[in-house]
Amino acid sequence: MTRPTVRLLSVLLGYALAATGLASAQIEVETKVRLLRVPDGGLQPQALVENETAHLLYFQGEPAHGDLFHVRWSNTTETFSPAIRVNNQAGSAVAMGTIRGGQIALGQDGRVHVAWNGSSQAQPKGPKSPKMPEDNPHNGLPMLYARLNDSGTAFEPQRNLMTRSFALDGGGSIAADGHGNIYVAWHASDSESPAGEAGRRVWLSHSRDGGKTFSPERPIQDERTGACGCCGLRILAGEESGVFALFRSASRGVQRDITLLESDQGDRFRAHPVHPWQIGTCPMSSMSLLASGSRVLCAWETDGQVHFGAFDRNEKQLGPVVTAPGPRRGRKHPVMAVNTRGELILVWTEGTGWKLGGSVAWQVFDSAGRPTATRGRQDGVPVWSLAAVFARADGSFVIVY
Protein backbone atom coordinates (compact mmCIF):
# COMPACT_ATOMS: atom_id res chain seq x y z
CA MET A 1 0.00 0.00 0.00
CA THR A 2 1.34 3.43 -0.91
CA ARG A 3 1.59 6.04 1.81
CA PRO A 4 -1.33 8.49 1.57
CA THR A 5 -0.49 12.10 0.85
CA VAL A 6 -0.84 14.88 3.40
CA ARG A 7 -3.81 16.14 1.38
CA LEU A 8 -5.67 12.83 1.81
CA LEU A 9 -4.83 12.82 5.51
CA SER A 10 -6.16 16.36 5.83
CA VAL A 11 -9.41 15.36 4.10
CA LEU A 12 -9.85 12.33 6.34
CA LEU A 13 -9.35 14.12 9.65
CA GLY A 14 -11.16 17.20 8.43
CA TYR A 15 -14.25 15.05 7.82
CA ALA A 16 -13.93 13.20 11.11
CA LEU A 17 -13.22 16.17 13.34
CA ALA A 18 -15.62 18.61 11.69
CA ALA A 19 -18.45 16.19 12.52
CA THR A 20 -17.93 16.94 16.19
CA GLY A 21 -17.27 20.64 15.74
CA LEU A 22 -13.62 20.17 16.68
CA ALA A 23 -12.10 21.43 13.44
CA SER A 24 -10.69 24.93 13.88
CA ALA A 25 -7.92 27.20 12.78
CA GLN A 26 -4.42 25.98 13.44
CA ILE A 27 -3.32 26.77 16.98
CA GLU A 28 0.41 27.21 17.33
CA VAL A 29 0.98 25.56 20.68
CA GLU A 30 3.03 22.59 21.71
CA THR A 31 0.91 19.56 22.45
CA LYS A 32 2.17 17.85 25.55
CA VAL A 33 2.23 14.09 25.86
CA ARG A 34 2.68 12.59 29.31
CA LEU A 35 3.61 8.96 29.91
CA LEU A 36 2.35 7.00 32.91
CA ARG A 37 3.11 3.46 33.97
CA VAL A 38 0.24 1.17 34.82
CA PRO A 39 -0.30 1.08 38.61
CA ASP A 40 1.19 -1.82 40.57
CA GLY A 41 3.16 -3.09 37.56
CA GLY A 42 -0.06 -4.02 35.79
CA LEU A 43 -0.58 -4.99 32.14
CA GLN A 44 -2.95 -4.23 29.28
CA PRO A 45 -4.38 -0.84 30.32
CA GLN A 46 -7.71 0.30 28.93
CA ALA A 47 -8.77 3.93 29.47
CA LEU A 48 -11.96 6.00 29.15
CA VAL A 49 -12.60 9.61 30.18
CA GLU A 50 -15.61 10.99 32.03
CA ASN A 51 -15.45 14.76 32.61
CA GLU A 52 -12.26 15.34 34.63
CA THR A 53 -11.77 11.68 35.52
CA ALA A 54 -10.11 8.89 33.56
CA HIS A 55 -11.21 5.32 34.26
CA LEU A 56 -8.41 2.78 33.92
CA LEU A 57 -8.73 -1.00 33.74
CA TYR A 58 -5.66 -3.23 33.97
CA PHE A 59 -4.50 -6.81 34.54
CA GLN A 60 -2.26 -8.05 37.32
CA GLY A 61 -0.96 -11.50 38.27
CA GLU A 62 -0.03 -14.69 36.43
CA PRO A 63 -0.60 -14.17 32.68
CA ALA A 64 -2.60 -17.41 32.39
CA HIS A 65 -4.85 -16.71 35.38
CA GLY A 66 -4.78 -13.28 36.99
CA ASP A 67 -7.08 -10.46 38.04
CA LEU A 68 -8.55 -7.23 36.67
CA PHE A 69 -8.53 -3.95 38.57
CA HIS A 70 -10.29 -0.64 38.10
CA VAL A 71 -8.89 2.74 39.22
CA ARG A 72 -9.75 6.37 38.59
CA TRP A 73 -7.14 8.96 37.65
CA SER A 74 -8.02 12.54 38.54
CA ASN A 75 -7.05 15.28 36.11
CA THR A 76 -6.94 17.78 39.00
CA THR A 77 -4.94 15.84 41.60
CA GLU A 78 -3.07 13.66 39.06
CA THR A 79 -3.36 10.63 41.33
CA PHE A 80 -4.82 7.15 41.08
CA SER A 81 -7.65 6.09 43.37
CA PRO A 82 -7.40 2.84 45.39
CA ALA A 83 -7.82 -0.16 43.09
CA ILE A 84 -11.03 -2.22 43.05
CA ARG A 85 -10.83 -5.81 41.81
CA VAL A 86 -13.30 -6.49 39.02
CA ASN A 87 -13.47 -10.30 38.99
CA ASN A 88 -14.91 -11.77 42.17
CA GLN A 89 -13.23 -15.13 41.51
CA ALA A 90 -9.46 -14.81 41.86
CA GLY A 91 -7.46 -15.86 38.81
CA SER A 92 -10.37 -15.79 36.38
CA ALA A 93 -8.83 -13.31 33.90
CA VAL A 94 -6.12 -13.94 31.32
CA ALA A 95 -3.37 -11.85 29.71
CA MET A 96 -1.53 -14.37 27.51
CA GLY A 97 -1.68 -13.44 23.86
CA THR A 98 -2.18 -9.77 24.80
CA ILE A 99 -5.60 -9.45 23.10
CA ARG A 100 -7.67 -11.60 25.51
CA GLY A 101 -7.69 -9.09 28.37
CA GLY A 102 -10.43 -6.98 29.91
CA GLN A 103 -12.34 -4.24 28.13
CA ILE A 104 -14.16 -1.32 29.79
CA ALA A 105 -17.21 0.79 28.94
CA LEU A 106 -19.08 3.65 30.64
CA GLY A 107 -22.84 3.36 30.58
CA GLN A 108 -25.83 5.27 31.85
CA ASP A 109 -25.09 7.52 34.84
CA GLY A 110 -21.36 6.80 34.47
CA ARG A 111 -21.61 3.17 35.61
CA VAL A 112 -18.51 1.10 34.75
CA HIS A 113 -19.02 -2.12 32.79
CA VAL A 114 -16.27 -4.69 32.12
CA ALA A 115 -16.06 -7.77 29.90
CA TRP A 116 -13.19 -10.23 29.55
CA ASN A 117 -12.14 -13.66 28.34
CA GLY A 118 -12.29 -16.06 31.26
CA SER A 119 -9.18 -18.08 32.13
CA SER A 120 -9.08 -21.88 32.33
CA GLN A 121 -9.81 -21.51 36.06
CA ALA A 122 -12.79 -19.20 35.56
CA GLN A 123 -16.30 -19.93 36.75
CA PRO A 124 -19.00 -20.15 35.59
CA LYS A 125 -18.00 -22.10 32.48
CA GLY A 126 -19.36 -21.55 29.01
CA PRO A 127 -20.74 -24.23 26.67
CA LYS A 128 -18.22 -26.93 25.81
CA SER A 129 -17.08 -27.76 22.32
CA PRO A 130 -17.89 -31.32 21.18
CA LYS A 131 -14.68 -31.17 19.13
CA MET A 132 -12.46 -30.86 22.23
CA PRO A 133 -11.85 -33.38 25.02
CA GLU A 134 -14.38 -32.93 27.81
CA ASP A 135 -11.68 -32.55 30.45
CA ASN A 136 -9.54 -30.05 28.49
CA PRO A 137 -9.14 -27.03 30.81
CA HIS A 138 -9.63 -24.72 27.81
CA ASN A 139 -12.94 -26.33 26.85
CA GLY A 140 -15.77 -24.12 28.04
CA LEU A 141 -13.84 -20.88 28.43
CA PRO A 142 -16.46 -18.22 29.29
CA MET A 143 -17.04 -14.66 28.12
CA LEU A 144 -17.39 -12.89 31.46
CA TYR A 145 -19.10 -9.65 32.44
CA ALA A 146 -19.33 -7.56 35.61
CA ARG A 147 -20.56 -4.07 36.43
CA LEU A 148 -19.89 -1.64 39.23
CA ASN A 149 -22.55 -1.77 41.94
CA ASP A 150 -25.01 1.03 42.66
CA SER A 151 -22.82 2.55 45.37
CA GLY A 152 -19.68 2.43 43.22
CA THR A 153 -17.73 0.55 45.91
CA ALA A 154 -17.35 -2.91 44.33
CA PHE A 155 -18.17 -4.93 41.26
CA GLU A 156 -21.12 -7.28 41.17
CA PRO A 157 -20.38 -11.02 40.80
CA GLN A 158 -19.11 -11.97 37.36
CA ARG A 159 -21.45 -13.62 34.87
CA ASN A 160 -20.89 -15.75 31.81
CA LEU A 161 -22.68 -14.53 28.66
CA MET A 162 -22.07 -17.56 26.41
CA THR A 163 -25.14 -19.79 26.08
CA ARG A 164 -24.82 -21.44 22.65
CA SER A 165 -21.40 -20.49 21.28
CA PHE A 166 -18.14 -22.17 22.29
CA ALA A 167 -14.40 -22.31 21.56
CA LEU A 168 -13.75 -18.75 22.75
CA ASP A 169 -10.26 -17.71 21.68
CA GLY A 170 -9.56 -14.14 20.56
CA GLY A 171 -10.48 -11.21 22.75
CA GLY A 172 -14.02 -9.97 23.30
CA SER A 173 -15.16 -6.36 23.66
CA ILE A 174 -17.82 -4.25 25.37
CA ALA A 175 -19.63 -1.00 24.53
CA ALA A 176 -22.36 1.07 26.17
CA ASP A 177 -24.48 4.13 25.49
CA GLY A 178 -26.32 6.57 27.72
CA HIS A 179 -29.69 4.83 27.38
CA GLY A 180 -29.03 1.58 29.21
CA ASN A 181 -27.78 -0.41 26.23
CA ILE A 182 -24.77 -2.65 26.87
CA TYR A 183 -23.24 -4.67 24.02
CA VAL A 184 -20.73 -7.49 24.51
CA ALA A 185 -19.17 -9.08 21.42
CA TRP A 186 -16.76 -11.97 20.84
CA HIS A 187 -15.95 -14.50 18.13
CA ALA A 188 -16.51 -18.22 18.54
CA SER A 189 -18.06 -21.30 16.96
CA ASP A 190 -21.33 -23.18 17.44
CA SER A 191 -22.78 -26.58 16.56
CA GLU A 192 -23.71 -25.37 13.06
CA SER A 193 -20.29 -23.90 12.23
CA PRO A 194 -17.74 -25.55 9.94
CA ALA A 195 -14.48 -26.56 11.57
CA GLY A 196 -11.59 -24.14 11.97
CA GLU A 197 -11.26 -20.37 11.76
CA ALA A 198 -13.41 -20.16 8.64
CA GLY A 199 -16.34 -21.37 10.75
CA ARG A 200 -15.94 -18.79 13.49
CA ARG A 201 -18.40 -15.91 13.69
CA VAL A 202 -18.80 -12.67 15.62
CA TRP A 203 -21.45 -13.00 18.34
CA LEU A 204 -23.32 -10.27 20.20
CA SER A 205 -25.14 -10.26 23.54
CA HIS A 206 -27.29 -7.19 24.25
CA SER A 207 -28.60 -5.72 27.49
CA ARG A 208 -31.31 -3.07 27.37
CA ASP A 209 -31.49 -2.53 31.13
CA GLY A 210 -27.99 -1.35 31.99
CA GLY A 211 -26.49 -4.81 32.42
CA LYS A 212 -29.11 -6.34 34.72
CA THR A 213 -30.00 -8.94 32.09
CA PHE A 214 -28.58 -9.93 28.70
CA SER A 215 -30.15 -11.56 25.66
CA PRO A 216 -28.76 -14.90 24.44
CA GLU A 217 -25.93 -14.25 22.01
CA ARG A 218 -26.56 -14.22 18.28
CA PRO A 219 -24.23 -14.13 15.27
CA ILE A 220 -24.09 -10.73 13.54
CA GLN A 221 -22.27 -11.79 10.37
CA ASP A 222 -24.55 -12.55 7.44
CA GLU A 223 -21.60 -13.64 5.33
CA ARG A 224 -19.42 -16.57 6.39
CA THR A 225 -16.09 -14.77 6.39
CA GLY A 226 -14.72 -16.54 9.48
CA ALA A 227 -12.78 -14.81 12.24
CA CYS A 228 -9.05 -14.89 12.96
CA GLY A 229 -8.77 -17.15 16.01
CA CYS A 230 -6.15 -15.33 18.12
CA CYS A 231 -7.04 -11.77 17.09
CA GLY A 232 -9.19 -9.40 19.07
CA LEU A 233 -12.13 -7.31 18.01
CA ARG A 234 -13.58 -4.00 19.12
CA ILE A 235 -17.19 -2.86 19.48
CA LEU A 236 -18.45 0.73 19.78
CA ALA A 237 -21.85 2.22 20.60
CA GLY A 238 -22.28 5.95 20.06
CA GLU A 239 -25.15 8.34 20.71
CA GLU A 240 -25.17 9.36 17.03
CA SER A 241 -22.95 6.84 15.28
CA GLY A 242 -24.86 3.56 15.82
CA VAL A 243 -23.20 0.27 16.76
CA PHE A 244 -19.98 -0.95 15.14
CA ALA A 245 -17.69 -3.98 15.41
CA LEU A 246 -14.19 -4.10 13.90
CA PHE A 247 -12.57 -7.53 13.49
CA ARG A 248 -10.23 -9.63 11.36
CA SER A 249 -11.82 -12.27 9.13
CA ALA A 250 -10.25 -15.61 8.17
CA SER A 251 -11.70 -16.72 4.84
CA ARG A 252 -10.00 -19.85 3.49
CA GLY A 253 -7.53 -19.60 6.37
CA VAL A 254 -5.41 -16.97 4.58
CA GLN A 255 -7.72 -14.05 3.76
CA ARG A 256 -7.36 -12.18 7.05
CA ASP A 257 -8.98 -8.89 6.14
CA ILE A 258 -10.04 -6.15 8.52
CA THR A 259 -13.85 -5.91 8.33
CA LEU A 260 -16.25 -3.38 9.85
CA LEU A 261 -19.75 -4.45 10.90
CA GLU A 262 -22.17 -1.51 11.13
CA SER A 263 -25.70 -1.24 12.52
CA ASP A 264 -28.08 1.61 13.34
CA GLN A 265 -29.55 0.08 16.51
CA GLY A 266 -27.55 -3.14 17.01
CA ASP A 267 -30.11 -5.27 15.20
CA ARG A 268 -29.11 -5.97 11.61
CA PHE A 269 -25.41 -5.49 10.80
CA ARG A 270 -23.88 -4.69 7.42
CA ALA A 271 -20.31 -5.68 6.55
CA HIS A 272 -17.85 -3.20 5.03
CA PRO A 273 -14.37 -4.25 3.84
CA VAL A 274 -11.60 -2.12 5.36
CA HIS A 275 -8.16 -3.55 4.60
CA PRO A 276 -7.19 -6.85 2.90
CA TRP A 277 -4.26 -9.01 4.02
CA GLN A 278 -3.28 -12.47 2.91
CA ILE A 279 -1.30 -14.33 5.56
CA GLY A 280 -1.33 -17.98 6.57
CA THR A 281 -0.93 -17.46 10.34
CA CYS A 282 -2.78 -15.51 12.99
CA PRO A 283 -1.02 -12.16 13.68
CA MET A 284 -2.51 -11.79 17.20
CA SER A 285 -3.62 -8.25 16.47
CA SER A 286 -6.04 -5.81 18.09
CA MET A 287 -7.91 -2.78 16.79
CA SER A 288 -9.72 0.29 18.10
CA LEU A 289 -12.76 2.47 17.38
CA LEU A 290 -13.45 6.09 18.27
CA ALA A 291 -16.79 7.89 17.75
CA SER A 292 -16.74 11.29 16.04
CA GLY A 293 -20.27 12.52 15.38
CA SER A 294 -21.73 10.70 12.41
CA ARG A 295 -18.31 9.20 11.65
CA VAL A 296 -16.26 6.54 13.35
CA LEU A 297 -12.46 6.42 13.38
CA CYS A 298 -11.07 2.92 12.94
CA ALA A 299 -7.46 1.88 13.68
CA TRP A 300 -5.86 -1.48 12.96
CA GLU A 301 -2.65 -3.34 12.10
CA THR A 302 -1.75 -4.90 8.75
CA ASP A 303 1.60 -6.50 7.95
CA GLY A 304 3.54 -4.89 10.78
CA GLN A 305 2.17 -1.39 10.18
CA VAL A 306 -0.69 0.54 11.82
CA HIS A 307 -3.36 2.45 9.90
CA PHE A 308 -6.56 4.37 10.51
CA GLY A 309 -9.52 5.70 8.56
CA ALA A 310 -12.91 7.35 9.08
CA PHE A 311 -16.15 5.55 8.28
CA ASP A 312 -19.01 7.87 7.30
CA ARG A 313 -22.25 6.46 8.70
CA ASN A 314 -24.40 8.50 6.33
CA GLU A 315 -22.45 7.65 3.19
CA LYS A 316 -21.81 4.05 4.35
CA GLN A 317 -18.18 4.06 3.29
CA LEU A 318 -14.66 4.35 4.65
CA GLY A 319 -12.58 7.39 3.76
CA PRO A 320 -8.89 7.33 2.79
CA VAL A 321 -6.68 4.98 4.78
CA VAL A 322 -3.85 6.71 6.64
CA THR A 323 -0.61 4.93 7.51
CA ALA A 324 1.40 6.01 10.55
CA PRO A 325 4.53 7.94 9.47
CA GLY A 326 7.92 6.27 9.70
CA PRO A 327 9.29 2.81 9.00
CA ARG A 328 7.47 -0.26 10.25
CA ARG A 329 9.00 -1.81 13.35
CA GLY A 330 6.56 -4.59 14.05
CA ARG A 331 3.83 -2.07 14.89
CA LYS A 332 0.76 -3.38 16.72
CA HIS A 333 -2.17 -2.49 19.00
CA PRO A 334 -3.13 1.02 17.77
CA VAL A 335 -5.31 3.29 19.94
CA MET A 336 -6.48 6.88 19.43
CA ALA A 337 -7.72 9.97 21.27
CA VAL A 338 -8.88 13.45 20.20
CA ASN A 339 -8.33 16.55 22.35
CA THR A 340 -10.25 19.81 22.76
CA ARG A 341 -8.27 21.45 19.94
CA GLY A 342 -9.26 18.77 17.46
CA GLU A 343 -5.81 17.18 17.45
CA LEU A 344 -5.63 13.42 17.15
CA ILE A 345 -2.99 11.17 18.68
CA LEU A 346 -2.29 7.70 17.31
CA VAL A 347 -0.46 5.39 19.74
CA TRP A 348 0.89 1.91 19.07
CA THR A 349 3.48 -0.62 20.23
CA GLU A 350 6.63 -1.72 18.43
CA GLY A 351 8.45 -5.02 18.78
CA THR A 352 5.87 -6.70 21.01
CA GLY A 353 4.80 -10.28 20.35
CA TRP A 354 4.50 -13.72 21.89
CA LYS A 355 6.48 -13.51 25.15
CA LEU A 356 8.07 -10.27 23.90
CA GLY A 357 7.88 -6.78 25.38
CA GLY A 358 8.69 -3.71 23.33
CA SER A 359 8.20 0.04 22.97
CA VAL A 360 5.32 2.47 22.83
CA ALA A 361 5.26 5.05 20.02
CA TRP A 362 2.98 7.94 19.11
CA GLN A 363 2.24 10.61 16.54
CA VAL A 364 0.01 13.69 16.95
CA PHE A 365 -1.90 15.18 14.00
CA ASP A 366 -3.22 18.75 14.06
CA SER A 367 -6.87 19.71 13.49
CA ALA A 368 -6.23 20.05 9.75
CA GLY A 369 -4.82 16.54 9.57
CA ARG A 370 -1.13 17.42 9.33
CA PRO A 371 1.45 15.37 11.28
CA THR A 372 2.95 17.62 13.93
CA ALA A 373 6.37 17.59 15.53
CA THR A 374 4.85 15.86 18.56
CA ARG A 375 5.91 12.29 18.15
CA GLY A 376 7.97 9.89 20.19
CA ARG A 377 8.96 6.42 21.23
CA GLN A 378 9.62 4.98 24.68
CA ASP A 379 10.95 1.56 25.65
CA GLY A 380 9.48 -0.41 28.50
CA VAL A 381 6.22 -2.05 27.38
CA PRO A 382 6.11 -5.31 29.39
CA VAL A 383 5.50 -8.76 27.96
CA TRP A 384 1.80 -9.33 27.15
CA SER A 385 1.04 -5.62 27.39
CA LEU A 386 0.08 -2.67 25.22
CA ALA A 387 -0.80 1.02 25.69
CA ALA A 388 -3.86 3.18 26.33
CA VAL A 389 -4.33 6.90 25.75
CA PHE A 390 -6.74 9.64 26.77
CA ALA A 391 -7.00 13.42 26.33
CA ARG A 392 -7.11 15.97 29.16
CA ALA A 393 -9.20 19.13 29.27
CA ASP A 394 -6.09 21.29 28.72
CA GLY A 395 -5.44 19.60 25.36
CA SER A 396 -2.60 17.38 26.48
CA PHE A 397 -2.56 13.60 26.10
CA VAL A 398 -1.75 10.91 28.64
CA ILE A 399 -0.34 7.58 27.45
CA VAL A 400 -0.52 4.71 29.95
CA TYR A 401 1.76 1.72 29.31
Whether the CB-CB separation of 201 and 228 falls below 8 Å is answered with no
Look up residue 316 and give its amino acid. Answer: K
> Each residue of 232-284: pLDDT tens digit?
999 999 766 689 999 999 988 899 999 999 998 778 899 999 999 999 999 99
E strands along 51-172, which residues?
53-62, 65-74, 84-85, 103-106, 112-117, 143-147, 159-160
Q: Rounded to whole angstroms, how far apart are CA atoms 401 and 386?
A: 6
CA 329 and chain centroid, separation = 21
In a domain, 378, yes or no: yes
DSSP state of 197: G
Neighbours of 373 (CB within 10 A): 7
By C-alpha distance, which of 267, 143, 164 is closest to 206?
A: 267
In a domain, 121, yes or no: yes
CATH number assigned to the domain comprising residue 241: 2.120.10.10
pLDDT of residue 295: 81
pLDDT of residue 244: 96
pLDDT of residue 24: 33
Whether the CB-CB separation of 117 and 123 falls below 8 Å is answered with no
pLDDT of residue 272: 94
Whether the CB-CB separation of 345 and 324 falls below 8 Å is answered with no
Q: Rounded to whole angstroms, how far apart are CA atoms 318 and 4?
A: 14
pTM greater than 0.85 (yes/no): yes
Provide the domain count of the chain: 1
By C-alpha distance, which of 229, 277, 321 is closest to 11?
A: 321
Dihedral pair phi/psi, residue 115, rounded to 5°: -130, 145
In a domain, 322, yes or no: yes
In a domain, 149, yes or no: yes
Q: Rounded to whole angstroms, how far apart are CA atoms 285 and 248?
A: 8
* Residue-by-residue pLDDT tens, the chain, 401 positions: 433 333 333 334 443 433 333 333 333 456 899 999 999 999 999 999 998 899 999 999 999 999 999 999 998 889 999 999 999 999 999 999 999 999 999 999 999 999 999 999 999 999 999 989 999 999 999 999 999 999 999 999 999 999 999 999 999 999 999 999 999 999 999 998 888 898 999 999 999 999 999 999 999 987 788 999 999 999 999 766 689 999 999 988 899 999 999 998 778 899 999 999 999 999 999 999 999 777 899 999 999 999 999 998 888 889 889 899 998 889 999 999 999 998 999 999 999 999 999 999 999 988 777 899 999 999 999 999 999 999 999 999 999 99
pLDDT of residue 240: 65
Q: Domain range holding 373?
A: 6-400
In a domain, 263, yes or no: yes
CB neighbours of 296 closer than 8 A, spacing ≥ 6?
236, 238, 241, 244, 289, 290, 310, 311, 313
In a domain, 1, yes or no: no
Q: Rounded to whole angstroms, how far apart are CA atoms 58 and 49?
A: 15
DSSP state of 31: P
In a domain, 60, yes or no: yes
Dihedral pair phi/psi, residue 322, rounded to 5°: -110, 130
